[in-house]
Every structure is written in structure tokens, then in C-alpha cells.
Amino acid sequence: METLTFDLDKKPLREINQFLHGDASTLNGKSIVIENPNGAHNIAVGLKADVEVTIKGHAGYYAAGMNQLAKVVVEGSVGSGVAENMMSGHVHVKGFASNAAGATANGGLLVIDGDAGLRCAIALKGADIVVGGSVGSFSAFMAQAGNLVILGDAGEGLGDSIYEARLFVRGKVKSLGADCEEKVMGPEERKILVDLLARSGHGDVDPDSFKLYGSARTLYHFHVDNAGAY
Amino acid sequence: MSDQSNKIPQTEPRYSATFDTSTMSEIRRAAATGIYDIRGGGAKRKLPHFDDLLFLGASVSRYPLEGYREKCGTDVVLGTRFAKKPIHLKTPVTIAGMSFGALSGPAKESLGRGASAVGTSTTTGDGGMTPEERGHSTTLVYQYLPSRYGMNPDDLRKADAIEVVVGQGAKPGGGGMLLGQKITKRVAKMRCLPEGIDQRSSCRHPDWTGPDDLEIKIAELREITDWEKPIYVKVGATRPYFDVALAVKAGADVVVLDGMQGGTAATQEVFIEHVGIPILAAIRPAVQALQDMGMHRKVQLIVSGGIRNGADVAKALALGADAVAIGTAALVALGDNDPHLEEEYNKLGTTAGAYDDWHEGRDPAGITTQDPELMKRVDPVKAGRRLANYLAVMTMEAQVIARACGKSHLHNLEPEDLVALTVEASAMAKVPLAGTTWIPGVTKY
């Protein structure tokens, strides 16, 4: 695989991102390395080719935002909104992630080896997210579809106002949000979990050590008796 | 004495101004249902508005332009600050954001056809971009909303501009609603929601919270679109001086300011009527913020909320806006609330001109509905033509006024051309009370 290296100390981010938005035929199958990211925001956003990008260090906000097809590896931690609104592809954070990791992501797989901050998977729309550590409060708020796997603990208000997303938690849940309840994990959900654990480097973890949470579907229609939850 | 003369005079039945019939009917409705009233549209109460302003026109001290002969420009360029590809519109009257979902497919197509015919833009709404909408709109602004329903980077790249929606005039601080009747299979799929649920849209963006974050978000959108597209920031009119200043600081190319008369597809009546300020009160502080930052005319200002005719357009521009947006008025041009449907409005318990239960999806005009039979009533070619006619009339009306004031371009109109009819409008618009030099808060009487 051909490897190209960019140094963010020497080349402006705008030029690197524009290169990464180039014609798929010239990018597909290439490996790109970005050195000296030093927490810069918006690295490798809007990718749309089957390219592999390795960020050698910490990235700021929205790393790999709106990703399509590409595989992006961050060899460090990331700021808010990593892989926000991802459509497809694979984003792997080897460190920790700040708030709103994977916000509104529609597809693809986001793997965070460490912890994730507040509102991880907020308004998730179909993507898969695996967090090796714990997640902060209000994670999976209004999550519509997709799967969030948490190997550690979850903070307060997990899955508040959740729609049809599935939340697999191995550790403790401090509290559940409105309309989120524990579900029985059937064979279909167990299969999804086993697959996601295998694809995120956690194939040795026992799927039966997880609990499943999802929507109680009591807030799907406005009603006076639910006023306390609105 | 006759019986008649012995009769004690009766006081006429008197309705309370405070507990008027509308108020009492709402109390009864709330008591019966236990849920707040939800409706579409903007504020219906009487508010200080453009009708409270007048143009002075030319006379001995000012020199008018010859109507229909001497040129009066109407074009506007939006997004000149950072975007590689600014938008050039032939008229400063644009179409405000309205979603597919809130509106039927044929209604959206009609908006695209009408706007494109006169060289102006349309705007998407919550729920994403439809191929029909993109196909029929020469210039399409893509709204980037808190819910991110239907948001995808391919559509972002297809857009001609991006509008980051922070709020709207009908409900500043609130998210959208789309009730189950309108969450059809197609709408549900686009928004990734279960069919038929009562949908709540977020009131805050999921991945940024304050102005410093917004700056990074705008930079992300620019990076993704290679700095080509103008980026608008839309706010509901609340604290316009500070909101505009912060939007400019965050890197906006264009600020959209929506007053409380601006419509919504659905929200609580109490929100529509009691949160936010009229557009008349919002324009001058917004322009002041731009002027204080040296950005007036460099960052363009689009104002909306109750724009109905060319006089409103001219007044908004004279107060310092670069363009206006219309929503409710555009729907009326398509056929919304038309008297020829009176019988059908009566069946819904309302009357033509007052129908605002857009969220119920039973619009007899086929505009605010997802009912496949009702939406057939909208002929996009004919409705688009009506909108084009209306937009052309508004533009010509604004030109009539501008020429009368001696201006060779609508953007040459200025506050000095205006006076106010009321003390309130004078204070809000910062133009003198008619016949005086008095501006409350600015000059002494």
C-alpha cells in the first residue's frame, strides 16, 4: 500500500483536507499519515474515499467528522464530536474521546479504546459505537437507531428519550433517562454484540456480561399523563 | 305609567377584554385535553410592524428617479466574506427554510419552481434534502439543524449554501415538532424514526454548545465543502445585537434573523405568542452589531418574520438588511388558506384565513400535508407560477418605493428615508416619529 505523509506543522490543514477530498480513483487504497496534529480541529473531515488515514497524536474537535468509506485511526485522544454524523467507514480512537463522540452518526463503526465524555452517541442514527472504557452522562440521548457498546460504566441519564437504538453496557449504569429501560437480550441482539466486540478488538470479552437497554416507547406520542417526563 | 316605562334598563352583556372568547375557548380546550395547544404559523397578535413606518419619498429636497425608466437595481450577493462561491440573487426576496415533511413534495417543488423563475433561492428544512427540491431549485440553501434529521455530507456538497440553524422566530430556544399524522413512511425513513410517532426535534445542536464551539463547527463545514459554500447562521430574534455579533465572530458569511411573526410547521401556541421579539424591533440592533464590527454589507443580513409585500421589503432594507426571507406569504401565494376552500376549512372547524392546524396534516390546499390525495391538489407548475408572479410583484413594489426615494438600488434605501407612525415603532426602528425629529431614546422631544 502506498503511504503518503503530511506534517501539520508544515502544511496547512486546509490543503491536507482538500487533498483527502480528491478523486476517489487516486485515493482509494492509499495510506495517509498525518504527523504533528497537536490537537488541531477538523482533521480528516468529510472524507469520501476508501483511504486509510493515521493521525499520529491528539486531535481536536470533529476529527473524522462526516466520514464516508475511509478508515481513520487516531493514535491519541480526540476532542468533541469525533466521527460526528459518520455515514460509513471505520474510525478508531486509541486514546480517550471528549463529548458527543459519534453524535448523529448514521453508519460505520466508531471504536474508542479509552473513555468517552458526555453525550456519547447523542441522537445516534444507525452507526455502531464501541467504547472500551466508560461513558459520561446523558449518553445516547434521543438515540434513534444503531448500537452503543460500553465495556465500562455509564453516567447519569443513559438513553434519555431514546428511540430505537440498542445500548449494551457491561459495567454499572448510574441512572437511566426518561423512557429508557432494561431489555431482555435475545439471540438477535446477542449476535450484534458478539460481532461488534469481535470487530473492535474485544473478541475475548464475554457477551453475557452485558445488559441491554432500549426504549420503553411510552413517550412516542404526546399525552398529558407523560407530562412529568417532557 | 306603562309597563314599558317601569322596565329597569339592563346592562348589555359585556365580554372581558382579558378573558376574551379566544382565551376562554383555549381554557376549555386545555381542560378537556390536558395538552398544550399546538399549531403552525407565527405570532397572530397585533405587533409593532412595518405598517408603523412610512417612507417620506422625494420632494423639493430630494430627487426621485423616473418610474419604469431609470434603473433601480434589486440584486444581492450573499456570502462574500469567506466563500469561494458566493450566491448572486436577482431579487432580495428569498424563500425561508421549510421542511419536506412539514410541506408536501409538490409544495416544495412549487417553491423551487417559483423561486428559480425569478432568480432567488429556496431553503430546505428539518428532515433533509429531497431530489425533487434540489432538482427544481436553481439556488438551494441547505439547513444544518440541531436534529440533523436526514443530514448527510453528500447533500451538504450539493447545496449552494449552508444555513446553520440556531433558532427561529416562532420558537427561539425550542425545537421542532412533527406529529404522527405527518410521519409517513417516506418522512420516517428520511428522518430515521419509527413511522407515525410524534417527533420532537432537539433545541440544541448535539455537538456544539456555545459561540466558541460554533466557530469550530463552521470551520468544519467549510473544510468539508472546501471553503466553497456561503455559511449562514440563522437565529430567532431575541437579543439580536449579541447574537449577530457572536455569529459574525464565529465566522458566519450571512446572518439570518427571524422575528416572532415568522412561521413554524408546529409548536406550542404559548411559545409562538410569548417568546421572541417582532422583527421591527430586531433589525436595528442587528445592523448596529454589524456596524460596530465594521462588517455591515460584508456579512449580509437576511431578515424574516411577517414580510408580505414590497413595502415591507423596502422598509427592511432601508433599516439595513441586505435581503429578506418569506415563508407564510409564499405558502399563501401557493394557495394556502384560499377562500375557495372555505367549505373544507369549515369542516375542520375553522375558516379560510385562520387555518393553522398545519401539524394535523389535513390541509385542504394540499400544502402542509403528507396525505397523498390532498397533495395532488397542488399543481407545482401553476403554483410555482403564482409564487413567481408574487415575488416579481414584491420586487417591483420595492423598486417603486426606492425610485420615489431617489435610489438607484434597493440597497441605497436608508433609515433617513423613513418615519414612524407610533412612538413604539419610532423607538424600535430608531427613525423619527412622523412630523417630528424625535426618536425615543435617541433624541429629545
Domain CATH number, residue A56:
2.160.20.60
Residues of A in contact with B153 (CB under 8 A): 46, 48, 66, 68, 85, 87
For chain A, the residue count is: 230
Is pLDDT above 60 for B332? yes
Amino acid B217 reads K
Residue A145's closest CA among A115, A167, A178? A167
Distance linking the first and last C-alpha atoms of chain A: 53
Contact residues for B328 (Cβ-Cβ < 8 A; gap 6+): B41, B42, B262, B263, B306, B336
- What the block records as the C-alpha cell of A18 is 482538500
Q: How far is A85 from B199, CA to CA, in rounded Å?
A: 20
Query: What pLDDT digit, counting tens, does each position of B69-126 carry?
Result: 899 999 999 999 999 999 999 999 999 999 998 999 999 999 999 999 999 999 999 8
For residue A159, the enclosing domain spans: 3-229
CB contact under 8 A, B207 and A80: yes
**Smallest Cβ distance to A119: which of B206, B217, B226?**
B206
Q: Where are the domains of chain B?
A: 54-413
CB contact under 8 A, B148 and A42: no
The pLDDT value recorded for residue B2 is 55
Taking any CB pair shorter than 8 Å as contact, residues of chain A touching chain B are 13-14, 17-18, 21, 41-42, 45-46, 48, 60-62, 65-66, 68, 80-81, 84-85, 87, 99-100, 103-104, 106, 119, 122-123, 125-126, 141-142, 144-145, 161, 163-164, 220-225, 227
Is pLDDT above 70 for A228? no
Block residue for cell numbers 447523542: A122
ipTM of the complex: 0.96
Q: Which of A21, A104, A179 is best to mutate for the B interface (most B CBs within 10 A)?
A: A104
Is pLDDT above 70 for B4? no
**Smallest Cβ distance to A84: which of B180, B198, B207?**
B207
Total number of domains constituting chain A: 1
The pLDDT value recorded for residue A15 is 97
CB contact under 8 A, A14 and B35: no
**Smallest Cβ distance to A45: which of B147, B224, B227?**
B224
Query: What pLDDT digit, counting tens, does each position of A80-105 carry?
Result: 999 999 999 999 999 999 999 999 99
Q: Does domain B54-413 have CATH number 3.30.300.90?
A: no
Q: For residue A229, what pLDDT band results from cuts at 50, 70 and 90?
A: low
- Determine which of A79-88, B35-44, B374-383 has the lowest per-residue pLDDT on average: B35-44
Residues of A in contact with B227 (CB under 8 A): 14
Please tell me what DSSP assigns to residue B8. Answer: P
Please tell me what DSSP assigns to residue A76. Answer: S
Average pLDDT, chain A: 96
The pLDDT value recorded for residue B238 is 98
Query: What pLDDT digit, counting tens, does each position of A111-147 carry?
Result: 999 999 999 999 999 999 999 999 999 999 999 999 9
The pLDDT value recorded for residue B25 is 95
The pLDDT value recorded for residue B196 is 83
The answer to whether B323 touches B300, Cβ cutoff 8 Å, is yes
Is pLDDT above 70 for B413? yes
Positive/negative CA dihedral, B193, B196, B200, B201? positive
